[in-house]
Amino acid sequence: MTDVLKPADIHQAEEAVRWAVGNDKTLELVGSGSKRALGRPSQTDITLDLSSFTGVTLYEPDELILSARAGTPLAEIEKLLDDNNQQLDFEPMDYGPLLGQPAGQGTIGGVLATNLAGPRRIKAGAARDHFLGVTAVTGRGEAIKSGGRVVKNVTGYDMCKVLAGSWGTLAAMTDVTIKVLPKPETEATVVVEGLNDGQACAAMAAALGSSCDVSAAAHLPDHVASYFDGLLKAEAATVLRLEGVAPSVAHRTGMLAKLLQSFGYVVTLDAAGSQKLWRSVRQVAPFAADSALARPLWRISTPPAQAHRLVDLITPAAQMFYDWGGGLVWVAMPFEGEADAGSIRRAVVELGGHATLVRAPAALRASLDVFQPQEPGLAALSKRVKESFDPKAVLNPGRMWAGV
């Protein structure tokens, strides 16, 4: 059983890392542990439990900022924002249910460390785009701070960016400041029924290239459509969300419906239906279902317009759906223990972008690349960046790539 160190404050966190450095121990960084099964399986000596770092320390709705200790449950932050009619605009998705964990367990530190985003990514950006300031303990056991509590800041390197999506391999975050935004007053979704994947990508490109200000665009093919809430039929649906003040949403719904008529039969969902639908898109509902949990799951970020070509490049038995206008493809492989990494990697080389093996048995994740392999020059630079924060590789070693 792995030992656990649970620092109570930042000085103890520094002390814990320094001790690990001095005694050749490696640390697994954990907030709530909801994403533990994602990444290369970790072979660490000690768990560094950061769940004592909790609480919102500053929230100024008019300034659009919130500061919290990194271990603060995301649910607590989302509730507080909701009470003030605000939200995390990047709409973080929840890996928990995809990994067989309960929903709603993550911490804000985990959200940032894994650079989460949801359907609004195409309009509002990812966690990285809302991450304003940080205090973190590096692999040298030193607390550093970067950024601040203002939105516009170019003072020094943007260390928040490189910590976002670093999966705890560079530093243990203890305090973070994020940008928050008002909730849209209302929303609606325009649905085009019955398109194939190629037609859907074209329809989404047309919608996103219009001045309708689409805030989310997904294509839910026939074979997975029944898993999504809010749809009127369990058939292929290409769905486009519009958000804002009521007169604007009404106007743009009409405009978009007209624009998409030539692609297929168009219906619209009201605010309630739209909310239900996008919640299930955000939570990757088809692949979080019990019946799907054994299927290896890939997350592919790719240029959106040609994303539909993926279908022809991988096994026809794979299940998939598209978010981000086609730019994010979730692919579930048919057989447990067979990730078919070869065909996925080849497809990504062909289309551009990157693929992450989100879910697979530990033995499989240990034997192949979970994150996109990098070309040698970039891999070497990533390693040097890792060493600049964590020269002895004590923080989550090997979580992203061997040696990083």
Partner 1 sequence: MSVKMPETDAAVLSRRAQIVKTLRTIVPGEGVIDREREMKPFESDGLTAYRQLPMVVVLPETTRQVAEILKYCQDNGIKVVPRGAGTSLSGGALPLADGVLLGMAKFNKVREIDFENRVAVVEPGVTNLAVSNAVAHAGFYYAPDPSSQIACTIGGNVAENSGGVHCLKYGMTTNNVLGCEIVLMTGEVLRLGGKHLDAEGYDLLGLVVGSEGLLGVVTEVTVRILKKPETARAVLIGFPTSEQAGACVSKVIGTGIIPGGMEMMDKPAIHAVEQFVHAGYPLDVEALLIVELDGPAAEVDHLIARVEAIANDCGAVSCQASTSEQQRLLFWAGRKAAFPAAGRISPDYYCMDGTIPRAKLPLVLRRMKELSEKYGLGVANVFHAGDGNLHPLILYDSNKPGELDRAEEFGADILRLCVEVGGVLTGEHGVGVEKRDLMPTMFSEIDLNAQQRVKCAFDPKGLLNPGKVFPQLHRCAELGRMHISGGQVPFPDLPRF
Q: Does residue 309 bind partner 1 (CB under 8 A)?
A: no
The residue from 33, 41, 165, 198 that contacts partner 1 (CB under 8 A) is: 165
Q: What is the dihedral of CA 59, 173, 282, 317, to 10 degrees?
A: 180
Measured CA to CA, the distance from residue 8 to residue 21 in angstroms comes to 19
Among 208, 231, 269, 347, binds partner 1 (CB under 8 A): 208
Q: Which of 51, 56, 59, 161 binds partner 1 (CB under 8 A)?
A: 161
- Considering only 75, 205, 293, 366, the residue that binds partner 1 (CB under 8 A) is 205
Our finding on whether 350 is near partner 1 (CB under 8 A) is no
User: Which residue's CB is nearer to partner 1, number 227 or number 301?
Assistant: 301
Return the SS3 of 261: coil
Q: What is the DSSP string of 318-350?
A: -EEEEEGGGTEEEEE-SSTT---HHHHHHHHHH
**Binding residues for partner 1 restricted to 109-148, rule: CB under 8 A:** 115, 117, 121-122, 125-126, 128-129, 138, 140, 142-146, 148
Binding mask 48-67 for partner 1 (x = CB under 8 A): ------------xxxxx---
Which parts of 276-305 interact with partner 1 (CB under 8 A)? 301-305
Q: β-strands 3-5, 46-49: how paired?
A: parallel
**Helix, strand, coil fractions of the chain, as percent rounded to 5:** 35, 25, 40
Toward partner 1, which CB reaches closer, 36 or 251? 251
45 makes contact with partner 1 (CB under 8 A): no
Helix axis angle for 246-260 and 197-208, nearest 10°, is: 140
Nearest approach, Cβ of residue 5 and partner 1 (Å): 7
- From 70-78, 202-210, 268-276, 277-285, give the range in contact with partner 1 by CB under 8 A: 202-210
CA distance 259 to 197: 18
CB of 157 to partner 1, least distance (A): 5
For the bound state, the minimum distance from the C-beta of residue 282 to partner 1, rounded and expressed in Å, comes to 16
Judged by DSSP in three states, 70 sits in: coil
| Closest distance of CB 232 from partner 1, Å | 26
- Binding of partner 1 by 5 (CB under 8 A): yes
Give the burial string for 301-340 (b: 16+ CB within 10 Å, else e).
bbebbebbebbeebeeebbbbbbbbbbbbbbbbeeeeebb
Residue 162 as a binder of partner 1 (CB under 8 A): the answer is: yes
